[in-house]
Amino acid sequence: MADVVGNKDAKDFAVSTPFANNGEFHVKGASNLDWGMKDRLSRIFNPSSGKTVMLAFDHGYFMGPTSGLERLDLLIPRLAPHADCLMGTRGAIRSSVPATYNKAIALRASSGSSILEDDLSHESMVVGMEDAIKMNASAIAIQTFIGADGQKETIEALNKAVNLGFRYSVPTMGVVAVGKEMERTTKFFLLATRMLAEFGVQIVKTYYCENFEKVAAACPVPLVVAGGKKVPEKDALTLAYNSIQGGAAGVDMGRNIFQSEHPEAMIQAVSKVVHEGFTDEDGYEYYLDLVNA
């Protein structure tokens, strides 16, 4: 075991130096992967912008029908045309999303607890890779609770997914969880995102934090940023803008889109910020223009 006490802190992140091993491929850290992985990653990350707008609507797997997600069958058709990738459970997608959409799917493949419990950190891989392949998933998503009670089992679940992912060329998206006890510091996200990347995931979903550019620089695979609890539209667009400026390869946003009073306008504004270099102000103006049209 390395001696961690008195270890020198990381500090040289070279944040303004682009990732050096991309070759000709547009997804960070993926140039050495095989064709199937690259094909799936290219469905998630637009080859022109290198970025993605994922729409997260998997909340029901531990929260039940939260606000905005009462009727997936009515909501998803309004938003899917503007998303690059749909992130949901197999139950939600099979039951409520038309198979004709032909969108990239980030399939939620871990679970194990519900909001009825105090500790949500005990998750395992519950969706088989065979079923993920049957659903033509472009990635499977496994939540990992670094520093929490469920750390060991969720790291095992993640590594199981990564092993199967390499066997069948299905990317794994490691989801950094923040429970009620877990800090949201630069130090925590540097640790958690890098651990997930070292385990072999092809995408890390995380939260925005102070010094995000260091977190992005130190993670050798793309980061997509979760939206978190609903905030005013302008603030959510600022989060998206800061994330992209800080080196994220996209967002995986849920409540700040589907709980907006104008979800279609919101997702389109987010997409402008992510793919087209709009500032948060420009994105908000675009949002208002759509709302008032």
Return the active site residues.
205
Please check whether residue 105 is in contact with residue 52, taking contact to mean a CB–CB distance below 8 angstroms.
Answer: no
CB of 259 to ligand 5RP, least distance (A): 8
d(CA 170, CA 286) in angstroms, rounded, equals 36
- Of 192 and 253, CB closest to ligand 5RP: 253
- Of 66 and 186, CB closest to ligand 5RP: 66
- Of 143 and 159, CB closest to ligand 5RP: 143
Q: Which residues, at least 6 apart from 148, have a Cβ–Cβ distance to it below 8 Å?
A: 119, 121, 177, 179, 181, 182
CB of 258 to ligand 5RP, least distance (A): 8
Which residues sit at the interface with ligand 5RP, rule CB under 6 A?
56, 58-59, 87, 143, 175, 177, 205, 226-228, 253-256
Q: Is 21 helix (H, G, I), strand (E, B) or coil?
A: coil
d(CA 35, CA 184) in angstroms, rounded, equals 36
Bridge partners, 110 (sequence order): 125
d(CA 274, CA 255) in angstroms, rounded, equals 17
CB of 140 to ligand 5RP, least distance (A): 12
- Of 108 and 275, CB closest to ligand 5RP: 108
CB of 111 to ligand 5RP, least distance (A): 10
